[in-house]
Amino acid sequence: MQRLLLIGGAVLLIAALVIGLRGSGKNWSWYLSYAHEDNNPYGMSVLYDLLPAYNAGERRMVTQAPAELDLRAYSGTFFSIGHNAGLSREDMDSLAAWAALGNTVFLAHETLPEYLPGMDTSQVPFSMGSVQAPLADSSTASSASPDSITAHSNNWDSIKAHNEQPSGEDSLTDPFYLVEPIQEQPDWHLEEELLALRLNFSQPPFKTTEDHKLVFRVYNKDQPFLWSLIQPDSLRVVFPQVRALGLAEGRAADQQKIQGANLVELPVGRGRILLFTTPMALSNFYLVQPDGRDYAERVLSHLAPGDLLWDAGTRKTTTPYQPAESPLRFVLNHPALRMAWYLLLLIPLLYLVFRSRRRQAAIPLLNPKTNQSLEYLNTVAKLYYQQRSDHRAIGEMMREQFMGFLRERFHLRQPGLTEETALRLSSLSGLDAESVRSLFSRLRELDAGYEFQDYSLLRLHRELQQFYQKCT
């Protein structure tokens, strides 16, 4: 039985070890990948499938940098999401010029871009909303592939050389002319490590009565995260018409309230650039929750109708996505380590099966000896009592036991049943002399010639017991 318990315990221990190293359920990766094909909590597969519902046009995968594309062939929204934009100065200028045609550029990144085209709307040559900039004709737009956009020959010479555009009358006729960007921009954004953010919108119909909570959760535990927030008042120095659409609020470790905007609109010509600093709110983890999906729908409602250009070309500058591996999966993926792992599990099991049995004869268990003196005395007493014709002999034994008690307890060497002994015993024991004389009288009856009856024996026994109790 003990052997079976050992074997069963070993099997359970090995099973628990395997399950613990393997992990329970699906091995989710909590890496912030923001990849459209990633089904993990912080991937964008759910968002990628939902986006066509907010655009009337087609969803297209952009694999080239915006500066290398002929964006005039498309109209709608340029959608970029990730850790950082990875957009160069030329890419931002191209996107700003494309937005001025009435399109939307949606940049959802944890890190805000270091460069923004410094657009002073008073110097834009055309009146916003009144002058129609040239748009791509339908034949040009229909020639693009629906799945991906390849690089076209960029004929936007005015965009490439906007910093070299000469001042004068000719410059006012170029609808894509951008002024020289501001070199010294104010500190219009901040980064704070917070445990949670409370998100809402500035104006109805997007504003809700209750804020939306945003946390960075890993394995069901909230972790502090470095959030980027925009300061709209400082940004207005560069973009006077900037609008704060989404608001964010949190508390630092010292309980200081941190406030800012996580969604701002930068008007550009007849279009706009949207900066969204909390892309985590659009991840799979939040879109599968009712509150998170409601917030994402309000954010996506700001996208322009038309084609949706998903930016996949500039993600090369972000940290590549790598699925998480458990220690056991790493071991099992290598043949040598896999065999070593199986051998490590097999050796203890074989040892328990063949070497755990007892190789020495079992030693029998001996019970300790018990003191049976009282049982022996009771047995002898019962035998004597059963012999009713010899009550005198039992009484004589009781008298001899009494005399031994006097010699041991009161140190009377040769005690007798005399008056002198009775008085001395009374003084030593503290008993009255009459009780001692009565006891001595009962003991002297054993020497009388008449028959010693059983009631006399019982009376003698009671008086002796009373004497012993009072003396002890």
Backbone angles phi, psi at 160, to 5 degrees: -60, -35
**Span 172-205, pLDDT tens digits:** 333 333 434 444 445 677 888 898 999 999 988 8
Q: How confident is the model at residue 98 (pLDDT cuts 50, 70, 90)?
A: very high
pLDDT tops 80 at residue 428: yes
Query: What is the token pair recorded at 154?
Result: 């960029």
Q: Mean pLDDT, to the nearest integer, of 12-23?
A: 62
Q: For residue 269, is it left (φ>0), alpha (ψ between -120 and 50) or beta?
A: left
Closest to 97 (Cα-Cα) out of 127, 56, 66, 123: 66
Q: Side-chain half-sphere of 232: how many Cα atoms within 13 Å?
A: 20
8-state DSSP, 318: S
Per the model's pLDDT, the better-predicted residue between 168 and 257 turns out to be: 257
The pLDDT of residue 158 is 41
**Span 219-258, pLDDT tens digits:** 778 889 999 898 888 777 777 888 899 999 998 888 888 8
Per the model's pLDDT, the better-predicted residue between 123 and 433 turns out to be: 433
Q: How many CB atoms lie within 10 A of CB 448?
A: 10
Percentage of the chain with pLDDT > 70?
75
Is the Cβ–Cβ distance between 269 and 131 less than 8 Å? no
In angstroms, rounded to a whole number, what is the distance separating the alpha carbons of residues 245 and 94? 24
In angstroms, rounded to a whole number, what is the distance separating the alpha carbons of residues 266 and 245? 10
pLDDT tops 50 at residue 143: no
- Mean confidence (pLDDT) of the chain: 76
Of 81-95, 263-277, 370-384, minimum mean pLDDT range: 370-384
Q: What type of residue sits at position 222?
A: D
Query: What is the token pair recorded at 346?
Result: 């097999």
Q: Mean pLDDT, to the nearest integer, of 315-344?
A: 70
The pLDDT of residue 107 is 92
**CA dist list (Å): 443 to 236, 253, 424, 440, 469:** 126, 97, 17, 5, 18
Query: Per DSSP, which regions of 67-208 are E strands?
Result: 76-84, 104-111, 148-149, 189-194, 196-201
Q: What is the domain partition of the chain in residue ranges?
A: 2-25+327-354, 45-317, 373-471
Q: What type of residue sits at position 341?
A: W
Q: What type of residue sits at position 418?
A: T
Q: How confident is the model at residue 18 (pLDDT cuts 50, 70, 90)?
A: low
Q: Mean pLDDT, to the nearest integer, of 73-78?
A: 90
Residue given tokens 């009358």 in the structure block: 169
In angstroms, rounded to a whole number, what is the distance separating the alpha carbons of residues 175 and 60? 26
The pLDDT of residue 262 is 92
In angstroms, rounded to a whole number, what is the distance separating the alpha carbons of residues 252 and 229? 13
Q: Is 189 helix (H, G, I), strand (E, B) or coil?
A: strand
**Span 357-380, pLDDT tens digits:** 767 777 888 888 888 877 887 887
Closest to 230 (Cα-Cα) out of 342, 341, 60, 108: 108
pLDDT tops 60 at residue 406: yes
Contacts of residue 430, defined as CB under 8 A and 6 or more positions apart, other chains included, come to 470
